[in-house]
Amino acid sequence: MTETRLSRIIGIDLGTTNSLVAYVDEATGLPRVIADREGRMLLPSVVAFTPEGILVGEAARRQLVRRPQSTVYSVKRFMGRDYEDVKDELRYFPFAIRPADGIVKLDVGGRQVTPPEVSAVVLKALKERAEAHFKEPMEKAVVTVPAYFNDSQRQATRDAGRIAGLDVVRIVNEPTAASLAYGLHRLSEGVIAVYDLGGGTFDISILRVKDGIFEVLATNGNTHLGGDDFDRVIMLWLLEDIQCRHHAEIVRSGLDLARDGEAMQELRLAAEAAKIRLSTEERTRLTIPFADFTYHQDITRADVERLIEPLVARTLEPCRRALADAGLRREQIDQVVLVGGSTRVPLVRRRVEELFGRTAHSHLNPDEVVALGAAVQAQILAGGITDMLLLDVTPLSLGIETLGGIVSILIPRNTTIPTSAREMFTTSVDGQTVVDLHVVQGERELAKDCRSLARFELRGIDPMPAGLPKIEVTFLIDANGILQVAAKELRTGKAASIEVKPTYGLSETDVERMVEESFQYAEADVNARLLIEARNEADTVLTHVRRALGQGSHLLAEEERRGITSALEELEQARAAQDRDLIRDKTTALNHATEHLAELMMDAALKGALGSKRAAEIMESQ
Ligand code: AMP
């Protein structure tokens, strides 16, 4: 027996705006966030590339105004995504973003960096924070991602970890982590709504927990809605009030407030500070000094609630849609969890509790709850908590493209991961030595309507008649949602495999759209698939008959040979048209016309030198 010591694993919330690192305190068994040397828990997810070096966190955030072109924020929006997916976002960013080989690169501070490289700087800072706390090297982490992140986005997150020198032992969905922090994995069964409203994003997730296993039933949200929008409406209201009450001074000084970047920044900070104070107080006094006057204003919680009410209302519709997608009524929600700084706003809490008809869990710090849950998961993996298992589900179906462009699904949507699936395929052309494997994701019948995830080739197959090679395709999704596809030709043992690379990105709205489209186009898709299948079958029969005629036409009487040839021509013509019933009929007719020929060939093969190789070949080729 050798002595084993639990290796320490940290839990990381890699956020759009802020990131945190946490661990489970062995003395109390409770998760705790690790502070930096100044006692700050939140590390702003901002990285600045300056001539003096790379800055991260608060130091980088201070560069935002001074060096907008070299300071990267919100990089999470680009992780594992293609240029096409993010080009609508570009107007929000001052730095240049360009397409690069299926991902994007950012032009900052005179260099080109990928989103995982930027996230790695943040992860490394958190790793170092944990190392300073424990006074030992930290090599393993659990990292959280939004529930709607696809394979590419999860893979990019793992890449970021690797670049930072961290082995990402598990990727956990953020709502699952928040539920873990509240100990909801101990429920024997229940449905949980996790409402997450941060600075710039809103997510609602509906989870089911059963015997410690989490399943994502539905997700929804808005990628551009959050506390920053609250600040903006308060700021605009203040601006109007200032322009009205200090009209004379403003005209005299020639100040154009709305275009004065510094004054607007000042107003934005004052608006946010007032909003935060009004989460705990009923009334507050605002004082903003300008060059020619000082603005004073008393502002009440009711004022702010009136201003932000329409924004809060915009979060409720996605909640209703998520409930509908999960096939649940609000009475069926057992637990509500609040995540994100903006859920401290009393109005937000009230509206969410009204919608779901129950009190929400909110006693943990909503900024920390995801990191705390990541630490709980880390502790489970390290072996410190042994009474549970954690699982998630695939958001979209995964499969491969087969003959004629039809999708063959190996892992259906909503399958609990980790999971694996295996299916047998073969070749469609005689003597084919290379098979092209195209991995796709989506709910449509044809590959061209799904997302292309990866392509690879299986080479070196011995030349054989079509249909003889036995190609086994295996899909394996690990606990982090990363997909591995392997193909093996069983006769020759030739194998090839691929781990899905970040070629594309996918947003929550894309997932929704793809599922919706699969319903919308269901009938047309099925018709298209049936036509392709009829053609595929016709092709197989045509190939066999041509080969049989080549080998055995001397066995036939002239009239019978002509009958087969004309049935063959009729099928060739039908195949070129769109009528699948006609193709089926002509295929059956050709099969029927060749029954006698098949019998004759079988007899000839058996009669002729028994055991001869040629006979075996003919038989095998049937
Ligand atoms: P997060 O992205 O979760 O860190 O949330 C950040 C957002 O929460 C920002 O818009 C903050 O202004 C907002 N926030 C933080 N604390 C409070 C508070 N006490 N009341 C209202 N909003 C808050």
Domain match, 144 and 72 both: yes
* Model confidence pLDDT, tens digit, residues 381-420: 887 654 444 446 677 889 999 988 999 999 988 777 767 8
Domain match, 17 and 143 both: yes
pLDDT of residue 64: 86
* Model confidence pLDDT, tens digit, residues 76-104: 999 999 998 898 888 878 888 999 888 89
Domain match, 305 and 325 both: no
Nearest protein CA to atom 18 of ligand 1, as residue? 276
Domain match, 363 and 462 both: no
Active-site annotation, residues: 13, 76, 174, 196
Q: In terms of residues, how long is the chain?
A: 622
**Rounded CA separation 437/485 (Å):** 9
* Model confidence pLDDT, tens digit, residues 48-70: 999 889 999 999 999 887 888 89
Helix (H/G/I), strand (E/B), else coil: 458: strand
Ligand 1 centroid, distance to 392 Cα (angstroms): 28
Residues with Cβ < 8 Å from 191, sequence gap 6 or more? 206, 207, 208, 209, 217, 326, 328, 332, 333, 334, 335
Task: Give percent above pLDDT 70 in the chain.
Answer: 92
Ligand 1 atom with the smallest distance to the CA of 272 is 12
Mean pLDDT of the chain: 88
Nearest protein CA to atom 16 of ligand 1, as residue? 341
Domain match, 339 and 466 both: no
pLDDT of residue 387: 46
Nearest protein CA to atom 21 of ligand 1, as residue? 276
pLDDT of residue 523: 80
pLDDT of residue 527: 85
pLDDT of residue 502: 30
pLDDT of residue 290: 87
Nearest protein CA to atom 22 of ligand 1, as residue? 342
pLDDT of residue 510: 66
Ligand 1 atom with the smallest distance to the CA of 197 is 3
Nearest protein CA to atom 2 of ligand 1, as residue? 198
pLDDT score of 620 more than 70: no
Ligand 1 atom with the smallest distance to the CA of 230 is 10
pLDDT score of 501 more than 50: no
Average pLDDT over residues 334-359: 96
pLDDT of residue 609: 45
Residue 613 falls within a domain, yes or no?
no
pLDDT of residue 1: 37
Counting ligand 1 atoms within 8 A of each CB, the residue from 232, 276, 307 with the most, and so the one to mutate, is: 276
Ligand 1 atom with the smallest distance to the CA of 367 is 3
Residue 444 falls within a domain, yes or no?
yes
CATH number of the domain that residue 143 is part of:
3.30.420.40
Nearest protein CA to atom 1 of ligand 1, as residue? 198
Residue 516 falls within a domain, yes or no?
no
Residue 337 falls within a domain, yes or no?
yes
Domain match, 208 and 108 both: yes
Q: What are phi and psi of 489, to 5 degrees?
A: -90, 120
pLDDT of residue 98: 92
Longest C-alpha distance within the chain, in Å?
113
What is the pTM for the complete model shown?
A: 0.66
Residue 448 falls within a domain, yes or no?
yes
Domain match, 492 and 376 both: no
pLDDT winner (highest mean) among 303-317, 394-408, 491-505? 303-317
Ligand 1 centroid, distance to 527 Cα (angstroms): 51
Nearest protein CA to atom 3 of ligand 1, as residue? 340
Domain boundary among 356, 376, 393: 393
Domain boundary among 348, 367, 393: 393
Residue 615 falls within a domain, yes or no?
no
pLDDT score of 561 more than 50: yes
Ligand 1 centroid, distance to 353 Cα (angstroms): 19
pLDDT of residue 524: 81
Domain match, 441 and 468 both: yes
Least confident of 232-236, 306-310, 393-397: 393-397
pLDDT of residue 511: 65
Domain match, 189 and 304 both: no
pLDDT of residue 365: 95
pLDDT of residue 384: 63
pLDDT of residue 115: 96
Q: What's the DSSP call for residue 345?
A: S
Q: What are phi and psi of 288, to 5 degrees?
A: -125, 115
Pocket of ligand 1 (CB under 6 A): 17-18, 198-199, 226-228, 272, 275-276, 279, 340-342, 344-345, 367
Domain match, 269 and 371 both: no
Question: Greater confidence, 617 or 511?
Answer: 511
pLDDT of residue 479: 67
pLDDT of residue 121: 97
CATH number of the domain that residue 592 is part of:
1.20.1270.10
pLDDT score of 292 more than 90: no
| Domain interval for residue 569 | 523-607
* Model confidence pLDDT, tens digit, residues 583-593: 999 999 998 88
What is the count of structural domains for the chain?
4
Runs of H (alpha helix) within 443-594: 508-520, 522-552, 558-576, 580-593
CATH number of the domain that residue 235 is part of:
3.90.640.10
Ligand 1 centroid, distance to 198 Cα (angstroms): 6
Which one, of 152, 190, 141, 147, lies nearest residue 21 by Cα? 141
Average pLDDT over residues 278-299: 93
Ligand 1 centroid, distance to 199 Cα (angstroms): 6
Ligand 1 centroid, distance to 2 Cα (angstroms): 49
CATH number of the domain that residue 503 is part of:
2.60.34.10
Reading the block at residue 414, the tokens are 């909503």
Ligand 1 atom with the smallest distance to the CA of 16 is 2
pLDDT score of 10 more than 90: yes
Residues with Cβ < 8 Å from 257, sequence gap 6 or more? 239, 242, 243, 250, 263, 264
* Whether the Cβ atoms of residue 144 and residue 177 lie closer than 8 Å to each other: yes
Average pLDDT over residues 249-261: 87
Q: Quickly state the pLDDT bin for 380 (edges 50, 70, 90).
A: confident
Average pLDDT over residues 253-267: 86
Counting ligand 1 atoms within 8 A of each CB, the residue from 342, 343, 344 with the most, and so the one to mutate, is: 342
Ligand 1 centroid, distance to 150 Cα (angstroms): 27
**Rounded CA separation 292/590 (Å):** 95
pLDDT score of 471 more than 90: yes
Residue 77 falls within a domain, yes or no?
yes
Residue 513 falls within a domain, yes or no?
no
**Rounded CA separation 37/31 (Å):** 19
Domain boundary among 265, 281, 310: 310
Domain match, 90 and 185 both: yes
* Model confidence pLDDT, tens digit, residues 100-141: 888 899 999 888 999 999 999 999 999 999 999 999 999 999
pLDDT of residue 608: 57
pLDDT of residue 207: 96
Domain match, 70 and 109 both: yes
pLDDT score of 514 more than 80: no
Q: What are phi and psi of 32, to 5 degrees?
A: -140, 145
pLDDT of residue 508: 57
Q: Quickly state the pLDDT bin for 442 (edges 50, 70, 90).
A: confident
pLDDT of residue 2: 38
pLDDT of residue 438: 94
Burial class (CB in 10 A: 0-12, 13-18, 19+), 238: buried
pLDDT score of 615 more than 60: no
Ligand 1 atom with the smallest distance to the CA of 275 is 21
